[in-house]
Amino acid sequence: MSNNVPEATVARLPVYQRALIELVREGASSTSSEQIASMARVNASKVRKDLSFLGSFGTRGSGYDTGYLLEQIDRALGLDRSWPVAIVGLGNLGRALANSQGFSSRGFFLCGLFDVDPSILGSRIAGVLVRHVDEIGADPDRAASPAIGVVATPAAYAQEVADRLVAAGVGCLLNFAPRVLSVPPHVLLRYVDLSIELQVMSFYLSHRGAGPGVPAGSAISAAASLPHPVGMNAGA
């Protein structure tokens, strides 16, 4: 198997994994591509083709053994190890991330939290000490150095933070700042961008027969552009 797995397939493996965890929990000892597909809301041949990139783990005529398949997917995803993650920027979002299940779940652990705000430096979030951004990569202990860096700073600082994380040796960057970043080619960069998601939705809403959108010039949208918008007035 190894390396020729399409990116789109990789992104679906965690979804199959979740379906399998659910099935195992329910006590189902075997399953089918059809069943996984319906849980993952994709079609069955996609499931079969995706799994075939990892190997052939099923039995013709009867399906897949849930536990075994789950193991294989976990192994393919590299979840038989734990990757150290550092979060930079501990505003509302960064703190929410630090406290979220995602990082404490199997496969990952928080190895560092960084910010510049003196009022939180030295405190602990999710049990981890908050250090100054200048200390990124300063720890001589290799095992304390992050494999994954999460950027949750304001947009203006995102590139500099990314540069520091790269210098500290991260292999992957997950960027929550609304900013295009530049990283060397050996670093995998992924974006989670709320404003892009919203704008894509706006596109579809406005190209799908007039929905409940409020014209931009109206009082309501003027209010909406203030820091603390209050919605709901009479509509257009």
Site for DNA in 25-54 (CB under 7 A): 31-34, 42-46, 48-49, 51-52
* 125 beta partners: 128
CA distance 161 to 156: 10
CA distance 155 to 176: 9
Query: From the list its own copies, DNA, none, which binds 205 (C-beta under 5 to 8 Å, kind-based)?
Result: its own copies
Quote the Cα angle for 194-199-201, to 5°: 100
* CA-based nearest residue to 152, from 185, 215, 205, 110: 110
CB 34 → DNA: shortest distance, Å?
6
Q: Which residues contact 232 (CB under 8 A, 6 or more apart)?
A: none
Could you tell me the maximum CA-CA distance found in the chain, to the nearest angstrom? 64
Pull the structure tokens for residue 167.
């210098």
Which of 16, 17, 40, 58 is the binder for DNA (CB under 7 A)?
58
Nearer to its own copies, 110 or 136 (CB): 110
Q: Where in 64-83 is the site for DNA (CB under 7 A)?
A: 64
* CA-based nearest residue to 133, from 171, 165, 176, 85: 165
Q: Where in 3-22 is the site for its own copies (CB under 8 A)?
A: 3, 5, 7, 10-11, 13-15, 17-19
Q: Is 57 among the residues that bind DNA (CB under 7 A)? A: yes
Q: Where in 96-135 is the site for its own copies (CB under 8 A)?
A: 96-97, 99-112, 126-128
Q: Where in 49-78 is the site for its own copies (CB under 8 A)?
A: 70-71, 74, 76-78
Query: From the list its own copies, DNA, none, which binds 44 (C-beta under 5 to 8 Å, kind-based)?
Result: DNA
Nearer to its own copies, 118 or 226 (CB): 226
Pull the structure tokens for residue 65.
């053994």
Nearer to its own copies, 61 or 211 (CB): 211
HSE-up of residue 128 (Cα within 13 Å, Cβ side): 25
Q: Where in 158-217 is the site for its own copies (CB under 8 A)?
A: 169, 171-172, 174, 178-180, 182, 185-186, 188, 190, 192-208, 210-216
CA distance 8 to 34: 19
CB 100 → its own copies: shortest distance, Å?
7
CA distance 122 to 131: 6
Q: Which residues bind DNA (CB under 7 A)?
A: 6-9, 31-34, 42-46, 48-49, 51-52, 56-64
